[in-house]
Amino acid sequence: MAEILLINPPLTSKELYRRGAKATASIIPPLGLASIAAVLEEEGHSVEIIDGIAQNISFSDVVKNAECFEIVGITVLSAFFKRCAELIRAIKKVCKVQIIVGGAHATALPESLLEVGADYVVLGEGELTIKELVNAILTSSHPIENIQGISFKNGGKVIKTKRRPMIENINSLPLPARHLLPMHKYKTSEARANRNPSHSMIVSRGCPGACSFCCKILFGKKIRCRSPENIVEEMFLLKDKYNAKEIAFLDDTFTADFDIVSSVCKLLINNKFDIPWSCEARIDTVDREMLQMMKRAGCDFIAYGVESGSNEVLKSINKKITKKEIERTIRITQEIGIPIRGYFMLGFVGETERQMMDTINFAIKLNVDVASFSLLIPFPGTVDYIRASKEEGYFDPEFYKKVLVPEFNFPDYPIYSPKTVSPERLLTIHKKAYRKYYYRPKIILKEITNIRDFEGLKRIVKGGITLLKNYRKN
């Protein structure tokens, strides 16, 4: 049996947050690593996790820690590829440990990790692959090249084995090994959660959408969901063991399967689950009946990906929804009384300034409770990465080798701006979006009248400070 260390790379607050974003940002557990850890523990391995984002741990301490293990696993998002590369090089310099990487960036561009010294890249879903791979490394019993869903170097040549089929029944997976995580460090964004501790869950994989900005290479199109009983069991675990006062579902589309949502809601009501929860949804996956049921079962916040106020842009990003559908769903949700966060995006490939203004005005018209405006970042594994770097040629495909990407919403400078608008102008439009949306008497009054307790007051003050810093800082 092996001693295995799993790492979410170390990043400082300065690297992660810009323009006052820290005050309201979330710190979310690396549930992918925790799922990998749970499977490895089931196999009898001894596993530790370092969460270099939540824990205050220096780069050199992470490297020193790695020396004590036989196998190190690192999760790699494009935003932090640069730090992961530095980490792999530094670990390889001091010890002979085998390094396995996985995650969205690793799956999209496996060669970029082999180049910097990773021994194996796990492509896509990692639970079944890691079991086989660790056994093969430890016992040499199994030819590595027979393991599905990996990439590695053999005599300088990059080998990519056949992609492993998705795990059909994700109910068969153990719950994430939260006992290995610093659970007291996590919180959901102030824009979404009113009470702390607020913990998060992921209960499904896959999304029926195919939006051009979204990285779809990990879990595919088909929705695979855990059973309602299993979902509710984890909710009770978060409440009873980790003292959750709120739960956030971070699934791409929690509402994709009506029957599952309906059964979860019934179970929550029957079992008197008494803390609120929130989720993310696609506009076209909810209806009045589902929303009413969710409200009764404790859903107190829902985040919709609206993205644009231009039907042409919605079409070009393959959102597969129209402004009319958006308005309808938002209206029904407002009538039912579930507060809404709208995600809006600016700076799509080919998007004009006029279309961006349409988005800002549409957000104001929809009048959601929280509006987030993000600038497009073309991430590897997305259609927009190909469009921006190869087709339009305005984005350096090697960008992630050079720069760490901070959390979205308030960048100092656009990471990408389309041919149609200069970076300076895009930044001005982005700031304008927040100013136009939030500095309205109607919104300010609504926020003030919604304050129910001290926590509510604190939340509003923090949000106000974030917006002011965002607006004033250049």
Which residues of the shown chain bind ligand B12 in the complex (CB under 6 A)?
Answer: 16, 26, 28, 30-33, 35-36, 53, 73-75, 77-79, 100-105, 108, 122, 125-127, 130, 202, 214-215, 218, 250, 252, 377, 379-381, 405, 407-408
Q: In angstroms, give the least distance from the CB of 104 to ligand B12.
A: 3
Q: What's 404's DSSP letter? A: P
Straight-line distance from the first to the last Cα atom of the chain, in angstroms, rounded to the nearest whole number: 53
Report the alpha-carbon distance of residue 249 to residue 31 in Å, rounded. Answer: 12
Q: In angstroms, give the least distance from the CB of 64 to ligand B12.
A: 19
How would you list the strands of the sheet with 277-281, edge to edge? Answer: 198-201, 246-249, 277-281, 299-307, 340-346, 370-375
Q: 126 or 298: whose CB is closer to ligand B12?
A: 126
**Alpha helix ranges (H) inside 308-449:** 311-316, 323-336, 353-366, 383-386, 399-402, 423-438, 441-449
Q: 79 or 232: whose CB is closer to ligand B12?
A: 79
Q: 139 or 449: whose CB is closer to ligand B12?
A: 139
Q: 358 or 407: whose CB is closer to ligand B12?
A: 407
Q: In angstroms, give the least distance from the CB of 147 to ligand B12.
A: 12
The residue assigned the tokens 């970029």 is 112
Q: 252 or 300: whose CB is closer to ligand B12?
A: 252
Q: In angstroms, give the least distance from the CB of 99 to ligand B12.
A: 9
Q: How many C-beta atoms surround the C-beta of residue 168 within 10 A?
A: 9
Q: In angstroms, give the least distance from the CB of 447 to ligand B12.
A: 23
Which residues, 6+ apart, have CB-to-CB distance to 34 below 8 Å?
49, 176, 177, 178, 180, 181
Q: 186 or 293: whose CB is closer to ligand B12?
A: 186
Q: 78 or 255: whose CB is closer to ligand B12?
A: 78
Q: In angstroms, give the least distance from the CB of 34 to ligand B12.
A: 8
Q: 293 or 306: whose CB is closer to ligand B12?
A: 306
Q: State the burial class of residue 221 (Cβ atoms within 10 Å of its Cβ: 0-12, 13-18, 19+).
A: exposed
| SS3 state at 191 | coil
Q: In angstroms, give the least distance from the CB of 157 to ligand B12.
A: 22
Q: What are phi and psi of 166, to 5 degrees?
A: -65, 150
Nearest CA to 72 out of 122, 108, 112, 31 is that of 122
Nearest CA to 251 out of 224, 270, 233, 212 is that of 224
Tokens (6 digits) for 232 = 């509710």
* 5: β partners: 48, 72
| 63 HSE (CA, 13 A, CB side) | 16
Report the alpha-carbon distance of residue 199 to residue 275 in Å, rounded. Answer: 11
Q: In angstroms, give the least distance from the CB of 471 to ligand B12.
A: 20
Report the alpha-carbon distance of residue 469 to residue 434 in Å, rounded. Answer: 11
Q: In angstroms, give the least distance from the CB of 101 to ligand B12.
A: 6
Q: 108 or 293: whose CB is closer to ligand B12?
A: 108
